[in-house]
Structure formats: C-alpha cells, structure tokens
Structure 1
Amino acid sequence: MDSIITYLTTYNQYLLNIIFKLLIFISKHIPLKQLTFDDSNSPQYQKFKVDKLPKIIKFEKVDYKLLLAYYNYKYGKSVTPVRRRNNKSISTKIICPKCGAPHEYIYDNNGGKGQFQCKVCGLTFKEHNFATKPLVFKCPYCGSTLAEQKERKHFIIHKCTNKKCSYYLKNLNKLPKDITQSEKYKYKLHYIYREFNINFFKVNIHTISERATSLNFKKFNPHIMGLVLTYHVNLKLSTRQTAHALKEVHGIDISHTMVSNYALTAAAVIKPFVDTFNYKPSKILSADETYIKVKGIKHYVWIVMDACKKSILGYQVSDTRSVGPCILAMRMAFDKFKNFPQKALKFIADGYSAYPLAKQQFELEDNKFFDLTQVIGLSNDDPVSSEYRWVKQIVERLNRTFKSSYRVTCGYGSEEGALYGFSLWVAYYNFLRPHPYNYWKPLNQLTELENVDNMPAKWQILINLGQQAILHLQETEIS
C-alpha cells in the first residue's frame, strides 16, 4: 500500500513539473500581445466599442444689456468697453453672435488673425463664422471639442483629436510594445461619439398597411384563405406547392400569385394584433439578427424574444445591419411592458456594437435603463458566457426554426413582403404553433380559439382579431 502511495506522489510531481515547463514555453514562444488590450482579442473589434456620453453644451442666445445690468447689480460696478492699445481697432460690423454685444466689447483675441472674444459673455468666435452650433460636444475625459470625422447613414461620428487626452494616452499605453506605427490604425485609441440625425423614438412602429384596408378579391373565400395560410405557413410549403396542394387535395384551382396575395393581405391584417397583444413578458429578453434575401440582396431580420416565455416581442427587417432597425425592434419589445422594469430587465445579445449603442440611445432619448449583457463567441471562455449562454442559444434556436420556413420562399420580392411574411410567421409561432415548452400548446392561448378544432378556422379568427385591432388603432389616432 505504501509503495502505491509513493508511486502516485512521484507521478504527481512529475506531472506538475511538465505543466510548469509548458507554461514557461507558452510564455516565451506564443505571442499574447492581443491579450494585453482590453475588451477583445481582435484589434478590429476595438473600433466597435461604444464610449460613454460626451459633455453636451447647448447654445442659448442671451441679451448683453441684461448681462451688463446683472453684473452691475451683483458686483456694484459696470463692465467697461475694451481699451484698445497701439491705436488698433476692429470693424464696427463685428458683434457677438451669442449676446449681441457691439464691437466696443469685443477683444481681438489673436492679433488680427480673425478670432475674437466677447468681454460680456466670454464667447470666442471667428470673423467669418458667426453661425454657432445648437449643440457642442466635449470629450468627457479632456474637455476638448469633438471634431466631425465621418457621416454614416443614420449618424455622424465625432472624434476627440487631442493627443494629450487621458483616454487616448491610456489606450496608447495598452498597445503591445513591439507594434509598429503602421499597425496602430487597427486599434481604437481616440474617444468617439455617434450623433444620430434620425430620432428613432418618434417613428411610428404600428403603421397600418394599405393591404389591410380591404379583403375584397375577385373570388374571395375565407375558407380558402384559411387553407392557403395553413399549407403555406404551418406546413412550410412554397406558394407554388400550396397552389398545387389545393388543386390535388381539395380540387381548388388557384394560382400561386393569388396564394401570395392572400398571404400578404392576411399578414397586413393580423400584424397589428400581433404587435399590440398583451404578452405579459418576463424580465429576461434575448436578441439576435439573421440574414434573408430580398431580390437576391442580403437583408437582415432583427428579433427580440422573451427568453422565459419564448414569445417573439419585437422584430424588424432592414437592408443594412445598422443600429436604427435594432432600436425599432427593441422599442417593439419594450412597448409590451405596461411598466418598464428599468434595471431589473436583463437584455442578452451577441457582441455586435449596435446593441450597446442602442442602449445608450434609450438612456439618452427615452429615459429607459436596462442591463445589457453581450455573450461573445461560441464557447464559454468567460464567466459571462457561461452564465448567459443558455439565453443566447434560445434565440439561435428560434433563428433555425424560422429558417426552415424561410428556405421554401427562395427569398422575398420586396422589403415590405419580407416584413409581412415574417410577421405572418410570428403570428403562427406566437399563437398557433404547439410548443413542447407549453406542453404542446400554443405559447399564448386565446379564448377565441379554444373550441375551434381546425387550423383554417383559427386563421380566420386571427384575421378577425386583426381587424378589431386595426379599428382600435384608428380610433386611438382620431382621439
């Protein structure tokens, strides 16, 4: 017995010695310079980092006469005009663009090179640039005015160009010591702020399509529409396969174009009901984006779902992977809360920069604060991924479920068709599809569907509920 213990102890020491030598080998020969920089091992990923909000200074006009009177009242003496030296003078046309003080109160601030300063309000301005910006953005680290660098589709990029900024110097010190000057562009070093030129919080996300105004077809039959939706959505048949099935099984002669028209019209009618239904969501949401094809061009579907109850709460279709559609999809999901839970809400997404940027806009524009957690990568390499991987996998599984229905379409013909096609699938997923999570019952059980024993009739009832939702939206707009 003693010999076995002695052998195991000796073998254990041998293994520890091997591990020690391997660690020395790794530290000497395997480059780990990317690990010295925070946030991500990839230098390209640094450019997507979202910085905190800048200092925002609003330009407000004042009256110099009121300022002179206030100064006289507070300090007991008046502000005298500027005393010129060496007989120098400035043009009588120069006035302060902020308070309107005349040239008598204006300093020549840089020796005749065109910069002036008002003695009354302290504003510094240039001779040929009287137009002042309504908002001025200052770096929160060094106080320098941000410079406009690039203009994107939905926002303008402002950058702090101060080489002595503490944020820049801190990131510069984190760079690998052996990096060359030509490789520094790969890393995000300067403070950056994105100013949006579109207010996505004033966009109406509950618009009513023109297709929802009428169900008047030349040969309209509610039962045939229910059959079309059952074959096309529930059974994942293409429009041509649906028309063929109706001909062979039911003896109904219908073209694939009419199948498409039925589906788009039904989607436009049902969508308001799906979007405004009271889902009573939990406080854990998961988001992801997946791609589709519209006329052969890549588009994106943004999905926000309830991670606990599995319902789809928000969705958008866009031609770009920008932050605008992301905000709209999140707005659709957040509107499902009667009382927004604020920091109690956990929002799980992947590592894409649109989500922290959208979170920043919600805090700035809509006063909504929530906990955003980004699960990066495919493996649990950190505690965050280990804890929230299951939430991310739920929405990934949802993407695969949608793609199994999407593949039969061979892509959509228009962006509107893609949106309403996806909304029709959302209606099926949330209200008609049996789920093992809910003991093979729909996620959201409607009392109107309890005694209905066939799927075409259920689709007809959903259309009726959609029409009632449209009437309610119209009455709300009028009132």
Structure 2
Amino acid sequence: MNSIISVLVAYNQFLLLQIQQLLLFIVKNIPLKSPKYDVTSPKYNKLTIDKLPVIKQPERLNYTVLLDEYKFNHGKNLKPVKSRGSNPVPTDTVCHRCGAPHDYLYNNTGGRGQLLCKVCGLRFNKDKNDFKIGALVCPYCGHILVKKKDRKHFNIHKCVNKSCPYYLDALNRLSPEDQAEYQQDKHKFKLHYIYREFTIDFFKMDLSSMPKGATNLTFRNFSSHIMGLCLTYNVNLGLSTRATARALWEVHQVKISHTMVANYAKTAAAIVKPFVDNFDYKPTNYLAADETYTKVKGVRHYVWFIVDAIKKSILGYQISSTRDVGPCILAMRMAFAKFKEFPGMALKFAADGYTAYKLAQQQFMLQGMDFNLIQVIGLTNDDPVSTEYRWLKQIIERLNRTFKFSYQVTNGYGSAEGSNTHVALFVAYYNFLRPHSYTYWQPLNSIPELESIPNIPGKWQKLIELSQLLILSKQAS
C-alpha cells in the first residue's frame, strides 16, 4: 500500500513539473490577449485613411494684362511665335499659368513635351498638371500627387516621391520579415501617401425620390381600413404578404391577394416617407451608425442606419448593393439634415472601424461640416475609446436585431423596390408607432393626431393622411 502511495506522489510531482514548464512556455511565447492584427504595422495601412492633401494654388496671371504691360513698357506689341519646326504646338493648348493661346507658346524641346510661354515665361508640360491651378500636393513632402487608378466613383492619387517623410517613416517601421515580403509583393503594403478623389457629388443627389411601381390610393374593392389592416399585419406584426392575406381572410373574412397587400405597402411607403424624413426629431449630439445586410434576389445588399443614441429615433437610412462610401454619405446627409443648426465638433458620431466612415468624414469636412467621429473597434473594450463609447455601439446593434426580426420573415426581397418599401415602412413604424421600453411603452415620437386614435390600422391611415397634407403643402409652396 505504501509503495502505491509513493508512486502516485512521485507521479503527481512529475505532472506538476510538466504543468509548470507548459505555463512558462505559454507566458514566454503565447500572449494571453493578442489582437486580430497589429494595427501599427504599415502592412495594414490599407485599413486607415490619410489626411487631406494640400491644394496647390500658384499665382494665376492674365495674358491680356501682361500683353498690355509689355506694350506700355516697350512701346510695341508682343509678336506671336512663328513656328518653323515639324512639331507645331497644338491649337487647343493654352498656358497653364496665364492662359495665353498656342500662338504665344514655343515647342521648347522639339516635340518631347516641354512648352515655353512667351508671355509669362513659364515652362510646362501639356500632359502634366504640375503648374495647373488646383493641383493636389502631398501634405508631407509637397510633391505633386500622381493619378494612379480610376475607380467607379473615385480616382486614386499617390505620392511617388521616394524621399517623402510619410513613405520613409512607414518603410522604417517594417520588420525584417515584412521588408523581405515587401520586396516581393509590394501591392500588399501601403507605404505611400494615398488620396481618393471622388468624381461623383454625393451632396447633390436626391434623397427623397419616389419609388417605382407606387400606385394611387383610389380604393375600389377595399377601403382605407383594409389597407390599415394590411400594414398592421405586414409591418407591425412582421407577417409576410402571403401570411397577411391569409390572416385577413381567416380573421376578418376579407378576400385579398398578396399582390394587393404588396401594392398597398409600396404605395404607403412612398407617401409616408416624406413625413418620416421631414419630421422635427430635435436630435441630440450623440449619433450611432452601423450597417447590416439583407438579400435581394439572393444577392447581398446593405442597409445603413443612423440613430439618435439618446432619443433612439432613426434619423438616416439607406439601402445599397455595395458597402462603399457613397451610401454611407447619403445616410449621413439624411441624418444631419435633421439638425436645424449643425453642431460641428460638439457632435459625437459613433461607428465601427470601417474605413467608409473616415472617408465620409473627409467629404463632409470639404463641405465645412466637421464633426467628432468615434470609432468603436471590435467586440471587446481593448482601448479607452471603446470602453467609454461602447454603449453607443450597443444601441445601434439592438436596432439591427430589431430590424432583422422584421426582415427574416421575408426570406429576402424579390426586388430593390421591395427592400426600399420594407425599410421605409419599418422606419415609420419604429419612430412613430412601435412601443418602446425607453419611453414607458409609448412611441418614440408623439404626434397629437395619432394619440386619440385607439387602434393601429387607424393610426396608419392618419399617418398617411398627415404625409399627404405635407406633400400638398410642399407642392403649393
């Protein structure tokens, strides 16, 4: 018996020694809390947004004024250039600085590109923008940016200066392993300064266009009350159009097709949308944004939501087939339009680490609308910013879950109009009809005309009537 105990004690000591060695190995080689990636590595600079470039504004001259000055100083006119070579200056060429026509330009290098203006003395290349007004300049080295790529909605400009401090600093921060990889696959790293110049003006796009396929509200076979019942079952209770039609027959003995239910929803969405978008929400200075996905004909689409984090109302929304900066800007425009006076840097705009929000912030800065963008990274509080503003991100995540519940019954949309209809009605229901625990099970926004109506179908009818009156008033003005 004693021999067995001594063997077990020796074996336990051996196991404890092994565990101690394993713990030492883990402490030395495996960090207990490692990030997904090292955000300080230049290899992941593609996930960051560089600051805005400097717009070069060289002295702009007027060649007619210079010609008058020459005549005053010399007592004669400045003669045009008499081209005798085989490479005359093209007739559509003008001086980049003074605007002198081709008559006053020398082909300075025999057709190799450089031109000389006889009026202002500028040497320039017709095909380069080194001396053009408004040239983009690297903010770190002052070198003219070179246009590298043409994308669908933007151009990519790059600083190719190998002596640029931005490039040298990023190159020095590469580890020996990364430097070896950089020499083989340079496209995997972003070491040079890059600027995206958008070619489409997202600030002039219409935000209130009517959807296709909307019909009028001339009721022939059914009444407005039946339409209110359709919206109640379809939107409030989250039933599909077919389930709504079946419920109307089984509960109310109303024979209606699911196509008519869809038409009612589409028309109601078109009419209610102006009222929802133009309502005075009196937003606070705390906004939260996020994007979730839906399916349209089996293809992934994205829904962008921007919510007032204090009052919980949805202020901006947009549906897009791509997850790029365009729909992000449109949703932010819709939300910012709710402010009677833009709060500027007092606005705290919380979002995740997706780069579209940084790009959108740059575009709003160009419009003179700067704000405080707070990016809450990941699912855990790994930095002080995420710890302080995690609650903002949780609010928009709860909204996404609520939207997902209403979306799941559709099993995806059959068309883009169907997705637009569902989201517009969901926002109207969420902001004005849905009871919330935050407001003691009352709607988020109180409308006196709706408070006296006891049932939801009647509230839908009244909401549509109020929106119609708003549309008529806007048309009259």
User: Residue in 1 aligned with 2:349?
Assistant: 347
Letter in 1 for 2:293: Y
Report if aligned partners of 2:87, 2:107 keep a CA contact under 8 Å in 1: no
Change (3 A) 1:202 1:130: closer
> Shift in Å at residue 166 of structure 1?
1.3
Partners of 2:382 and 2:391 lie apart in 1 by 14
Letter in 1 for 2:55: I
Partners of 1:241 and 1:33 lie apart in 2 by 44
User: Residue in 2 aligned with 1:449?
Assistant: 450
Report if aligned partners of 1:211, 1:268 keep a CA contact under 8 Å in 2: no
Moved more, 414-423 or 381-390: 414-423
SS of the equivalent of 2:176 reads: coil
Q: Are residue 97 (structure 1) and residue 95 (structure 2) matched?
A: yes
Provide Cα deviations, 1:61-95, integer angstroms capped at 9, x if missing partner.
Answer: 7532413555899xx8999999x9xxx98967477
Change (3 A) 1:164 1:120: farther
- Find the partner of 1:191 among 182, 190, 193: 193
Change (3 A) 1:183 1:113: closer
Change (3 A) 1:33 1:324: closer
Partners of 1:214 and 1:370 lie apart in 2 by 41
> Shift in Å at residue 413 of structure 1?
1.8
Partners of 2:418 and 2:196 lie apart in 1 by 32
Letter in 2 for 1:144: H
> Shift in Å at residue 286 of structure 1?
0.3
1:185-224 aligned within 5 A: 185-209=187-211, 214-224=216-226
Letter in 2 for 1:322: D
User: Residue in 2 aligned with 1:393?
Assistant: 394
> Shift in Å at residue 382 of structure 1?
0.6
Report if aligned partners of 1:90, 1:108 keep a CA contact under 8 Å in 2: no
User: Residue in 2 aligned with 1:149?
Assistant: 148
> Shift in Å at residue 346 of structure 1?
0.4
Q: Are residue 459 (structure 1) and residue 464 (structure 2) matched?
A: no
Partners of 1:33 and 1:425 lie apart in 2 by 35
1:81-96 aligned within 5 A: 93=89, 96=94
Change (3 A) 1:204 1:350: same
Gap runs ≥5 in structure 1: 1-16
SS of the equivalent of 2:141 reads: coil
Partners of 2:127 and 2:448 lie apart in 1 by 70
Partners of 1:258 and 1:55 lie apart in 2 by 56
User: Residue in 2 aligned with 1:277?
Assistant: 279
Report if aligned partners of 1:59, 1:136 keep a CA contact under 8 Å in 2: no
Moved more, 455-464 or 209-218: 209-218
Partners of 2:76 and 2:328 lie apart in 1 by 53
Change (3 A) 1:62 1:251: same
Change (3 A) 1:59 1:301: farther
Q: Are residue 168 (structure 1) and residue 167 (structure 2) matched?
A: yes
User: Residue in 2 aligned with 1:327?
Assistant: 329
Change (3 A) 1:166 1:295: same
Moved more, 222-231 or 136-145: 136-145
Change (3 A) 1:63 1:246: same
1:62-461 aligned within 5 A: 62-67=61-66, 69=68, 93=89, 96-98=94-96, 99-101=98-100, 113-118=112-117, 120-126=119-125, 135-179=134-178, 180=180, 181-209=183-211, 214-364=216-366, 366-461=367-462
Report if aligned partners of 1:68, 1:79 keep a CA contact under 8 Å in 2: no
SS of the equivalent of 1:278 reads: coil
User: Residue in 2 aligned with 1:472?
Assistant: 473
Partners of 2:75 and 2:324 lie apart in 1 by 55
Partners of 2:463 and 2:248 lie apart in 1 by 21
TM-score (norm 1): 0.84
Partners of 1:130 and 1:356 lie apart in 2 by 28
Letter in 2 for 1:397: R
Moved more, 48-57 or 188-197: 48-57
Change (3 A) 1:298 1:102: closer
Partners of 1:377 and 1:408 lie apart in 2 by 29
Change (3 A) 1:69 1:81: closer
Report if aligned partners of 1:96, 1:123 keep a CA contact under 8 Å in 2: no
User: Residue in 1 aligned with 2:17?
Assistant: none
> Shift in Å at residue 471 of structure 1?
1.5
Q: Percent identity?
A: 56
Partners of 1:416 and 1:133 lie apart in 2 by 45
Partners of 2:325 and 2:56 lie apart in 1 by 25
TM-score (norm 2): 0.84
Change (3 A) 1:291 1:122: farther
Letter in 1 for 2:28: F
SS of the equivalent of 1:178 reads: helix
Provide Cα deviations, 1:257-287, integer angstroms capped at 9, x if missing partner.
Answer: 1111111111111111001000000000000
SS of the equivalent of 2:177 reads: coil
